[in-house]
A and B are shown apart, each in its own frame.
Chain A
């Protein structure tokens, strides 16, 4: 088996007395779509936030394309990296948030070129050209001059996907990308994600959309109370779960 793109090794994360992520290990192969399902508070989002280093891990380690995230080994212990080096590591991941988090004071185009121009230092003209083609891919070529507040939730989320793609990440992380959307807007976002999966992008998707997980996911893990309860191909997890908790969750979700 080739080196996994993302390798989570025995990661635990506490918030005060609450153990949000409890000794989780997970490998995600390059070019696959890893879906993470589970009830609210099961630690799925916390796991994702550890992978893009919005949270530090308390135990264990995460490797991305062979690089350990957030720490360096020095004299038999691990020392946290500086803010600047963590920022540079974050370039390997792109994140799509539940609440979109588009930069409210910038137009759609400015949102997408912000990273390429100001973080990567690419020439503006080149970044604009690529941003336009990305926005075209997510079906928003006519909205380049709009401000986020003028767009629907589904449109904002598609801009957020374009913004993440503009940084050419190795892995795209989706944190419940359709949970804040009106039901009729979910489809347009899932359609973009489906197309993206088809291009061979490595994706980790925390989602409540079991249909999407079944159809697009290469693998599914079910989490509960911070632990991975069960994992495997979507057909196995979603149609013939072995664990009672998985069966209860999927039964309630259908």
Chain B
């Protein structure tokens, strides 16, 4: 037999050829199209980068304002608002999801109404309504006990918190409900069989397992919330974009200040993504084979 003869897996291949083929090493496939697409992407990036480098952008100004006190205070306000509004949203989301699934028809109706109203109207409209609440309720409180003037309570912070938090709660309620539905009914039955009440089985057994399904969309919404806080600028909440605008109204460095704000948004969002990955791993406990890992990492190909 000629050792130079190329062996191929043709239907006529002899048993010896097949054995020889079976012994060949397996090497990665040459993915020409990947190299091509990478080249196109790099070319596009280079073009955009060149435009920014040659454009009328004073990078010195960007660097100067990146850590300016007004920007950092705005950043802090953005982070505080994200944390507060999201916490309120998650608490309301869990409460209303549980009410929505309650055997009590009154609870279900209340939850339905809440989700209907706060998901059905634009967020910016809700913010304006809260901020102008004094037009409907000049004072707040229990008559005779205590009363305060609404304009004094409804600061930009409180109005933004209520607007974003209540709106978020309506969306999170649906996410939590989907998570609860994703847990096998057998888990609730087993919880009941060891004497748990409905609420205890939700808290100890169902919700912890629902977290695996709840966290990716809620993580998505936290990231969304970081950026949603920027619309609170319409009611004078001093978050980072509003402070950047205040600066560029004074010095006319529009693009530079927008780049500063964009840079900070990206930094915050990147940190949040890392946190989300860690949380998903935590709640993948007991899902030895599937787990949340495969959902965040790119599929690994040979």
**A residues whose Cβ falls under 8 Å from a Cβ of B:** 52-54, 83-84, 87-88, 90-91, 93-95, 97, 99, 101-106, 114-115, 118-120, 147-150, 160, 163-164, 167
Contacts and interface: CB of A to CB of B under 8 A. Distances in A.
List of 5 A-B pairs having minimum Cβ-Cβ separation, nearest first: A115-B194, A101-B190, A101-B186, A95-B193, A147-B286
Contact of B197 (A87, A115, A167): A87
A95 B189 CA distance: 9
Contacts of B288: 147, 149-150
Interface in B191-206: 191-198, 200, 204-205
B190 A102 contact: yes
Contacts of A83: 197-198
A119 B86 CA distance: 32
A81 to B, nearest CB: 12
A87 B209 CA distance: 22
Range of interface residues on B (Cβ < 8 Å): 20 to 34
Given A105-B209, A147-B286, A148-B286, A119 B195 contact: yes
Contacts of B198: 83
Nearest to A49: B189
Contacts of A84: 197
Contacts of B278: none
Nearest to A116: B194
B187 A101 contact: yes
A160 B198 CA distance: 20
A204 B289 CA distance: 35
A105 B197 contact: no
B189 A114 contact: no
Interface in B268-293: 283, 285-289
Contact of B190 (A53, A103, A149, A150): A103
Contacts of A150: 288
A164 B189 CA distance: 13
A175 to B, nearest CB: 10
B207 to A, nearest CB: 10
Interface string B156-175: 00000000000000000000
Contacts of A54: 189, 192-193
B192 A105 contact: no
Contacts of A104: 187, 209, 286-287
A119 B209 contact: no
A119 B186 contact: no
B208 interface: yes
19 contacts: A52-B192, A53-B192, A54-B192, A83-B197, A87-B195, A101-B186, A101-B187, A101-B190, A103-B209, A104-B286, A105-B209, A114-B204, A115-B194, A119-B194, A147-B285, A148-B286, A149-B287, A149-B289, A164-B193
A236 to B, nearest CB: 32
